[in-house]
Amino acid sequence: MEREKMILEKLKEAIVNLDINGVKEACREAIDAGIPAYKCVSEGMAKGLDIVGEKYEKGEYFLADLVVAGEAMKEGMKVLEPYLRAGEAEALGRVVIGTVRGDMHDIGKNIVATMLSGAGFKVIDLGVDVPPERFVEAVRKHRPHIVGMSALLTTTMMEMEKVIRALEDAGLRSRVKVIIGGAPVSMDYAEKIGADAYARDAVEGVSICKSWISEER
Ligand code: B12
């Protein structure tokens, strides 16, 4: 237990110090020590990114530092991904996921996508900066059970409501469940815009999506 805490702390610190090699090493060490990959994400790297975000707000870090922190997390994810995907099975259901228009943040969305496919979902990832009409088009084409949206900026979170309205206008809203996530959004916001759920993190998101599929069966 002590060792687990120590390694996760090391991983968090490596992100804060923008040490890409340190992040990769700590991820490998964590996997060798049997620490679940999702814990490395939620209790190691994501905590480090929170601190990086705070430092950026205080003016201690600059945009270039955010970029390096994002890269460090992506490199760490490359080490962890095979372990997040373990247990891949036949498709439980289909999920269309994307980061909304105007927003380039995709680290959290990618984690959710990876963990959903690890849990057995077929994931159609639309990428970043996705306008409402592309969500609508993807729902028409792929007939997903679930639509997932991510936003990390207070200026882009309102795009989520536009996507929901666009799905309504296209007569597709009742065919899908909508789940939203990302730092500025909340349960209250989900209710306000008419989404079916909000998830704080990928683990919660996957569990909500699974519960929807088992309700259907
Ligand atoms: C890395 C980063 C960047 C990188 C992004 C790289 C990338 N490929 O994603 C870069 C450098 C590109 C970037 C740019 C900008 N950023 Co930035 N960035 C961050 C930072 C440090 C980390 C974000 C992150 O990846 N977190 C880790 C992941 C794992 O967490 P997460 O995204 O929250 O995801 C989890 C949950 O929220 C949830 N989740 C997320 N999405 C979804 C979706 C579904 C369906 C579900 C179920 C769950 C779910 O599950 C995830 C995993 O558990 C944050 C600070 C922070 N702590 O959030 C600032 C932050 C988000 N950025 C910020 C800003 C201001 C910007 C810029 C405007 C800066 C600028 N002046 O240009 C630009 C905007 C560019 C754009 N148009 O999008 C602000 C936003 C302020 C606000 N309230 O709006 C923050 C909060 C920093 C700060 N404190 O000021 N950024």
Provide the pLDDT confidence category of residue 217 given band limits of 50, 70 and 90: low
Asked if the model's pLDDT at residue 203 lies above 90, the reply is no
| Atom nearest to 184 CA in ligand 1 | 83
Give the homologous superfamily in CATH for domain 94-216: Cobalamin-binding domain (3.40.50.280)
Residues 6+ positions from 44 with CB-CB distance below 8 Å: 7, 8, 9, 11, 12, 15, 26, 30
122: how many CB neighbours lie within 10 A of its CB? 16
**Can you give the pLDDT at residue 89?**
47
Cβ-contact 4, 69 below 8 angstroms: no
**Residue nearest atom 82 in ligand 1 by C-alpha distance:** 153
Cβ-contact 43, 10 below 8 angstroms: no
Asked if the model's pLDDT at residue 88 lies above 50, the reply is no
Ligand 1 environment, Cβ below 6 A: 42, 46, 49-50, 52-53, 56-57, 63, 66-67, 69-70, 97, 102-109, 111-112, 148-150, 152-155, 179-184, 199, 201-202, 205
Q: What is the pTM of this model?
A: 0.86
Residues 6+ positions from 137 with CB-CB distance below 8 Å: none
Q: How far is the CA of 89 from the centre of ligand 1 (A)?
A: 30
Query: Domain-by-domain residue ranges, the chain?
Result: 2-84, 94-216
The CATH code of domain 2-84 reads 1.10.1240.10
Asked if the model's pLDDT at residue 19 lies above 80, the reply is yes
The CA angle 147-184-94, to the nearest 5 degrees, is 15
State percent of the chain over pLDDT 70.
Answer: 96
